[in-house]
């Protein structure tokens, strides 16, 4: 049974605690850690289940558009992801993508865009996806080459996007493309592209360690109406980064969910496994490992909920979100690996929870900015702050 003491931390409000309790009970009834081979069908079913359970209302912002609240509640999103990840990696993935794929609309969309997409996302009637990465532009997002040129009042998209979660099952994609106002990150814009738009095709599906729908998209003369532009022209990088401020922090929360489940599994196994005339949990080497796991989880959780709390108070939290993501995903990897070790041969056996956690946790250190990229972000913000202080004469 998970230690829920973190729910009493001052970062959270009473309604967050109620949310966690209700979702945990719902997830216990509706979700399982293992899933079958047809992940497309399972994800579609999970979107419907999470939608009818009312949980996807937390993935979008705006009460008038199906959201639970007028603003995106980052702490609620984190709690949902942490809770779902404890029960099912695929359910966490499904919830996260509904939020990430529609986040730019919640944050920067016009009322027409919000009305057209958010209620369906919140109800589980439309599946969302976020298309930023390209074969030559992963960590280096500003190197993207996908183009959008204005022609006869429409934007025409040409290029390739890859690693797109929900690719192949999404109803619409939030696509970032170069509109050329300026070089690098300043010449990018964001567009909503419906999945059935002519000129958009699924160029290939990608299989990954923890299976979920993932694809490469190709745009060839794909015409998008002017009304599909999200935010201002040339501001797409800002749109992407603000969306990631919320969802990067939530990746940290998902990592916490996997780590907490791994700790629960470790406690269950070590207190029941008989060996050398005692239990595995009786040995000090085991206890040191359990202590390290629990301490790492709490440290990561403090950074995660600090970032979420700051984001909910308003403003950018680039540094704090990066610190949280970097720490939580690296910690979760160590915790899950430790759990596999404590389970011995069973730990690497298909069908065991810790074995699936081992596969689930790995990609989190890579997507939405690899650990090394988060390190760069933290350092850049530190240096910026230091130099700004020097200019003001603080030093």
Ligand X SMILES: Cc1cc2nc3c(=O)[nH]c(=O)nc-3n(C[C@H](O)[C@H](O)[C@H](O)COP(=O)(O)OP(=O)(O)OC[C@H]3O[C@@H](n4cnc5c(N)ncnc54)[C@H](O)[C@@H]3O)c2cc1C
Q: Which positions are catalytic?
A: 368
Q: How far is the CB of 246 from ligand X (least distance, A)?
A: 15
- 242: tokens are 């603000």
**Residue in 215, 293, 363, 377 binding ligand X, rule: CB under 6 A:** 363
* Rounded alpha-carbon distances, angstroms, from residue 288 to 167, 243, 250, 284: 43, 39, 29, 6
Binding test (CB under 6 A) with ligand X, winner from 54, 366, 378, 381? 366
Under the criterion CB under 6 A, does residue 138 sit at the interface with ligand X?
yes
* Enclosing H/E stretch for 280: none
Q: Which stretch binds ligand X (CB under 6 A): 27-35, 152-160, 261-269, 365-373?
A: 365-373
What is the token pair recorded at 171?
A: 């109803």
The CB-of-43 to ligand X minimum distance in angstroms stands at: 13
Query: Closest CB to ligand X among 138 and 296?
Result: 138
Phi-psi region of 13 (alpha: psi -120 to 50; beta: other; left: phi over 0): beta
Q: How far apart are CA 91 and CA 89, in angstroms?
A: 6
The answer to whether residue 376 forms part of the interface with ligand X (CB under 6 A) is yes
The residue (of 346 and 370) whose beta carbon lies closer to ligand X is 370
Stretch that binds ligand X, among 40-48, 162-170, 189-197, 286-294 (CB under 6 A): 162-170
- Range in contact with ligand X (rule: CB under 6 A) among 185-193, 257-265, 369-377, 383-391: 369-377
What is the smallest separation between the CB atom of 333 and ligand X, expressed in angstroms?
13
Nearer to ligand X, 347 or 369 (CB): 369
Please name the helix (run of DSSP H) or strand (run of DSSP E) that holds residue 119, with its range, or none: helix 111-123
Alpha helices by DSSP H, listed for 284-317, are 284-312
| C-alpha to C-alpha distances, 164 to 37, 160, 172, 202, 208, nearest whole angstrom | 19, 11, 12, 10, 12
Residues 190-219 that bind ligand X (CB under 6 A): 208, 214
Q: How far is the CB of 93 from ligand X (least distance, A)?
A: 9
Task: Please say which residue, 77 or 131, places its beta carbon nearer to ligand X.
Answer: 131
Report in angstroms how near the CB of residue 217 gets to ligand X at its nearest: 10
Asked whether position 19 contacts ligand X by CB under 6 A, the answer is no
Give kind and range of the element (H or E) at residue 167.
Answer: none
Q: Which residue's C-beta sits nearest to ligand X?
A: 138
3-state SS string for 73-110: CHHHHHHHHHHHHHHCHHHHHHHHHHHHHHHHHHHHCC
Report the site for ligand X in 97-136 (rule: CB under 6 A).
Answer: 130-133
Q: Please say which residue, 190 or 229, places its beta carbon nearer to ligand X.
A: 190
Q: Does 339 bind ligand X (CB under 6 A)?
A: no
Query: From the list 163, 258, 343, 358, which residue makes contact with ligand X (rule: CB under 6 A)?
Result: 163
367 touches ligand X (CB under 6 A):
yes
Nearest approach, Cβ of residue 368 and ligand X (Å)? 6
Instruction: Choose between 61 and 89: whose C-beta lies nearer to ligand X.
Output: 89
Alpha-carbon distance values, 62 to 66, 71, 118, 302 (Å) = 7, 6, 9, 28
Backbone angles phi, psi at 317, to 5 degrees: -130, 40
The shares of helix, strand and coil residues in the chain, as percent rounded to the nearest 5, are 60, 15, 25
Assigned token pair, 294: 């629990």
Name the residues that contact ligand X, by CB under 6 A: 130-133, 138-139, 163-165, 208, 214, 363, 366-370, 372-373, 376
């Amino acid at each position: 049974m998970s230690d829920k003491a973190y729910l009493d931390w001052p970062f959270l409000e009473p309604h967050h605690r109620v949310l966690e309790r209700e979702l945990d009970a719902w997830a216990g009834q509706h979700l399982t850690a293992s899933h079958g081979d047809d992940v497309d069908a399972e994800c579609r079913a999970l979107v419907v289940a999470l939608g009818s359970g009312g949980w996807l209302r937390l993935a979008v912002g705006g009460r008038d558009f199906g959201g639970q609240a007028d603003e995106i509640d980052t702490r609620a999103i984190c709690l949902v992801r942490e809770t779902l990840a404890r029960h099912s990696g695929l359910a966490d993935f499904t919830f996260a993508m509904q939020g990430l794929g529609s986040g730019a609309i919640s944050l920067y969309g016009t009322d027409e865009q919000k009305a057209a997409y958010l209620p369906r996302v919140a109800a589980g009637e439309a599946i969302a996806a976020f298309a930023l990465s390209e074969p030559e532009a992963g960590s280096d997002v500003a190197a993207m080459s996908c183009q959008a040129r204005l022609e006869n009042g429409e934007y025409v998209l040409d290029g390739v996007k890859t690693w797109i979660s929900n690719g192949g099952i999404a109803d619409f994609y939030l696509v970032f493309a170069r509109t050329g106002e300026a070089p690098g990150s300043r010449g990018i814009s964001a567009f909503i592209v419906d999945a059935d738009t002519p000129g958009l095709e699924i160029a290939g599906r990608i299989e990954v360690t923890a299976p979920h729908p993932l694809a490469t998209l190709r745009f060839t003369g794909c015409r998008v109406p002017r009304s599909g532009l999200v935010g201002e022209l040339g501001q797409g990088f800002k749109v992407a980064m603000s969306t990631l401020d919320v969802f990067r922090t939530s990746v940290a929360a998902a990592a916490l969910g996997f780590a907490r489940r791994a700790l629960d599994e470790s406690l269950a196994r070590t207190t029941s496994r008989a060996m050398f005339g005692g239990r595995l949990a009786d040995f000090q080497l085991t206890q040191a490992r359990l202590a390290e796991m629990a301490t790492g989880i709490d440290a990561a959780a403090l950074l995660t909920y600090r970032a979420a709390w700051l984001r909910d108070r308003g403003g950018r939290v680039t540094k704090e979100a990066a610190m949280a993501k970097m720490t939580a995903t690296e910690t979760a990897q160590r915790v899950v690996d430790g759990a596999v070790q404590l389970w011995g041969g069973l730990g690497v056996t298909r069908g065991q929870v810790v074995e699936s956690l081992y596969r689930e946790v790995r990609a989190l250190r890579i997507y939405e900015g690899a650990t090394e990229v988060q390190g760069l972000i933290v350092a850049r913000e530190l240096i910026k702050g230091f130099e700004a202080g020097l200019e003001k004469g603080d030093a």
